[in-house]
């Protein structure tokens, strides 16, 4: 089985994760939409879809969804500084930070200031 994951940032507060089995075409997708409520709270809405395994109970996929969300939640909630610095010189960056740097530049171009420093 050859699988790959595709992450796409569609808007500053919307992302999509797809897990695709290249051999069968089976696709599991999660669409995340974040709605900032105030400076310290954001509600996240998640839409999940799949084109396979309809005989399995939804709970099987809900457990996978919770695993993904809980992994990210722990990282996000321990992030320091809490607000995302848009000044790229405020932090040391590594080659692996290219996606984060591109995202921050995009936010700055859009004039996003809510939740950023």
Residue 117 located in a structural domain: no
The residues facing 45 across adjacent strands are 33
Q: Sort strands 27-38 and 14-21 into parallel, antiparallel or unpaired.
A: antiparallel
Tell me what pLDDT residue 112 has.
Answer: 83
Range of the domain at 21: 3-79
- State how far the Cα of 33 lies from the Cα of 46, in Å rounded to an integer: 6
Same domain, 11 and 44: yes
Model confidence over 15-26: pLDDT tens digits? Answer: 998 999 989 999
Tell me what pLDDT residue 3 has.
Answer: 66
Same domain, 55 and 74: yes
What stretch of H or E contains 88? none
pTM: 0.70
Model confidence over 22-40: pLDDT tens digits? Answer: 899 999 998 999 998 887 7
Same domain, 27 and 59: yes
> SS3 for 87?
coil
Query: Tokens in use for 21?
Result: 């089995």
Same domain, 45 and 20: yes
Domain with residue 41: its CATH number is: 3.30.310
């Amino acid at each position: 089985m050859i699988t790959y994951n595709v992450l796409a940032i569609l808007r500053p507060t919307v992302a999509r994760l797809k897990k695709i089995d290249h051999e069968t075409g089976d696709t599991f997708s999660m669409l995340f939409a974040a709605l900032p409520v105030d400076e310290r709270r954001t509600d996240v809405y998640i839409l999940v879809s799949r084109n396979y395994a309809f005989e399995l109970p939804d709970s099987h996929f809900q457990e996978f969804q919770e695993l993904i969300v809980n992994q990210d939640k722990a990282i996000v909630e321990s992030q320091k500084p809490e607000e995302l610095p848009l000044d790229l010189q405020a932090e040391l960056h590594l080659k692996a930070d290219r996606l984060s740097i591109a995202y921050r530049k995009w936010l700055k171009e859009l004039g996003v200031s809510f939740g950023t420093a």
